[in-house]
């Protein structure tokens, strides 16, 4: 409870206050917002307990998180659980839960979230990032509140609630995965899981993975990720005295390239500024390091033009981009050999699926899962924004690569986007509303009797 509250309640008799505190924590929490429905404290408590388990890198406590989730799932009799390991040290557990459907031969539904989170700098936070502080206005502050411990608990709460409805039983198998290491690239987590026999046996037909908060009243949904390329360009040239003017030194060649790349960047950014494309629909190319100069004890040698210079760029390609044409552009314009330049491209992820198709999930009638998902969100009184490409990457790319339709969705509306930021929070009412949305989605997806 926040100090805020205690201050607000000072006006009331102390005895009444104590009663409120002991018996009616949800009413106490909301007494200033009489129009909101009462807050159910139990899912909020579980959410906060999960948030307090420190699964931030570089030393995520996966064991405690898995034990906590196993305990929660043991309260839902219909769920079976299994802990899988894909590293020889068995230090990166993956929790797989299953609600068996009445026809297990049909392709199954997978709900995914990751156990880990990025680190937090406590001194830059208003409330300690692993305290899950519950503020007077309903905000729950914690690292992972948005990214993405919310959805992990929401899945379980929605399933728990559905399983208590006697007349409901899924037709298809429903699986819930809690995977390690998403924030470090997913290579020891989802990447290994999708390659495994265990995953093949699940016969997954459709996946929901994490999305992002929406500052507006509509939920956002993501049908593709951008693929990162790390590009390092390097120029060489004749070294010379700092006083001499001559052509084709390394710095001059590098700077010419940087100008060319900047022009490309401007052209892409102009499309965004003109409203012709969203940020995530263009190729971004941002300089991230410059490496040049001859070090001296006080900084750099100032009267010497160096013989080498390099620059690094973070480039992100939407699945609609043509990677071959970008490779040609880099070789011919960004780092041409005739300007004595070399380059190295490190592709951090694929752009095409195993059949060579763009790595995206269709959000139209060609994908029956899309319609089921969309209608289920609407049935829960939710509104969906126009589907987007995510500007960054998630584990969803590993499923899309196998050709499995995968949408990124975290039901957080009217919420500022604070993933990886200081003071990450989620409001209690938004969290609880999300459980209702997932109930509708899970009911519809697992009941879907169509062909896929």
Which residues in this chain contact ligand NAG in the complex, by CB under 6 A? 71, 237, 248, 253, 339-340, 362, 364-366
Instruction: Using the minimum distance from each CB to ligand NAG, give the nearer residue, 205 or 319.
Output: 319
Query: Are 60 and 115 a contacting pair, CB within 8 Å?
Result: yes
Query: Six-digit token pair at 266?
Result: 């401007």
In the list ligand NAG, Zn ion, none, the entry touching 248 (Cβ below 5 to 8 angstroms by class) is: ligand NAG
Distance between CA atoms of residues 158 and 140, nearest Å = 20
Q: Which of 148, 182, 353, 424 is the catalytic position?
A: 182
Residues that bind Zn ion (CB under 5 A): 147-148, 210
Question: Which residues in 254-385 belong to E strands, given as ranges?
Answer: 284-292, 295-296, 299-300, 304-305, 308-317, 341-347
Q: Give the DSSP letter string of 58-113.
A: TS--HHHHHHHHHHHHHTSTTEEEEEEE-STT--SEEEEEEE--S-TTSPEEEEEE
Please tell me whether 210 is known to bind a ligand.
Answer: yes
Instruction: Using the minimum distance from each CB to ligand NAG, give the nearer residue, 267 or 276.
Output: 276
User: Collapsing DSSP states into helix, strand and coil, what is residue 303?
Assistant: coil
In the list ligand NAG, Zn ion, none, the entry touching 147 (Cβ below 5 to 8 angstroms by class) is: Zn ion
CB of 398 to Zn ion, least distance (A): 14
Please tell me whether 195 is known to bind a ligand.
Answer: no
CB of 255 to ligand NAG, least distance (A): 12
116 part of the active site: yes
In the list Zn ion, ligand NAG, none, the entry touching 253 (Cβ below 5 to 8 angstroms by class) is: ligand NAG
Q: Rounded to 5 degrees, what are φ and ψ at 236?
A: -120, 155
Residue for token digits 């998902």? 373
| Strands lying side by side in the sheet with 227-236 | 284-292, 308-317, 227-236, 341-347
Query: Are 177 and 96 a contacting pair, CB within 8 Å?
Result: yes
* Among candidate residues 266, 302, 448, the one with its CA nearest the CA of residue 373: 448
322 part of the active site: no
Instruction: Using the minimum distance from each CB to Zn ion, give the nearer residue, 376 or 396.
Output: 396
In the list Zn ion, ligand NAG, none, the entry touching 148 (Cβ below 5 to 8 angstroms by class) is: Zn ion
CB of 29 to ligand NAG, least distance (A): 20
Instruction: Using the minimum distance from each CB to ligand NAG, give the nearer residue, 342 or 381.
Output: 342
Please tell me whether 183 is known to bind a ligand.
Answer: yes
Please tell me whether 347 is known to bind a ligand.
Answer: no
User: Catalytic amino acids?
Assistant: 116, 182
Residues belonging to the binding site for Zn(2+) are: 114, 147, 183, 210, 420
């Amino acid at each position: 409870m926040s100090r805020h509250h205690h201050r607000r309640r000072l006006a009331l008799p102390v005895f009444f206050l104590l009663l409120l505190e002991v018996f009616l924590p949800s009413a106490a929490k909301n007494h200033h917002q009489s129009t909101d429905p009462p807050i159910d404290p139990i899912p909020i408590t579980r959410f906060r307990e999960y948030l307090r388990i420190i699964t931030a890198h570089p030393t995520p406590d996966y064991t405690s998180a898995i034990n906590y989730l196993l305990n929660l799932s043991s309260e839902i009799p219909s769920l079976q659980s299994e802990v899988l390991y894909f590293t020889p040290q068995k230090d990166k557990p993956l929790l797989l839960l299953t609600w068996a459907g009445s026809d297990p031969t049909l392709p199954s539904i997978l709900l995914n979230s990751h156990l880990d989170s990025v680190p937090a700098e406590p001194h830059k936070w208003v409330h300690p990032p692993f305290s899950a502080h519950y503020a007077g206005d309903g905000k729950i502050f914690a690292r992972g509140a948005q990214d993405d411990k919310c959805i992990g608990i929401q899945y379980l709460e929605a399933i728990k609630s559905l399983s208590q409805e006697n007349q409901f039983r899924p037709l298809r198998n429903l699986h819930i995965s809690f995977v390690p290491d998403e924030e470090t690239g997913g290579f020891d987590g989802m990447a290994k899981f999708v390659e495994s026999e265990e995953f093949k046996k699940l016969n997954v037909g459709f996946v929901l993975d994490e999305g992002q908060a929406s500052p507006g009243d509509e939920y956002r949904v993501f049908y593709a990720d951008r693929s990162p390329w790390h590009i390092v360009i390097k120029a060489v040239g004749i070294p010379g005295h700092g006083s001499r003017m001559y052509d084709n030194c390394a710095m001059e060649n590098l700077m010419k390239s940087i100008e060319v790349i900047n022009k490309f960047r401007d052209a892409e950014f102009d499309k965004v500024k003109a409203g012709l494309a969203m940020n995530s629909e263009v190729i971004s190319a941002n300089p991230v390091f410059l490496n040049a100069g001859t070090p001296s004890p006080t900084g750099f040698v100032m009267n010497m033009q160096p013989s080498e210079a390099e620059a690094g760029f973070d480039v992100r390609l939407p699945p609609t981009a043509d990677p071959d044409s970008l490779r040609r552009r880099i070789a011919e314009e960004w780092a041409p050999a005739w300007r004595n330049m070399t380059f190295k491209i490190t592709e951090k992820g694929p752009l095409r699926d195993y059949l060579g198709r763009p790595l995206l999930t269709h959000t139209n009638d060609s994908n029956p899962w899309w319609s089921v998902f969309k209608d289920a969100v609407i049935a829960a009184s939710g509104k969906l924004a126009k589907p987007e490409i995510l500007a960054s990457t998630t584990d969803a790319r590993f499923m899309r690569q196998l050709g499995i339709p995968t949408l990124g969705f975290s039901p957080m509306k009217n919420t500022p986007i604070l993933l990886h930021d200081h003071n990450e929070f989620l409001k209690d009412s938004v969290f609880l509303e999300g459980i209702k949305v997932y109930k509708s989605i899970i009911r519809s997806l697992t009941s879907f009797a169509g062909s896929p």
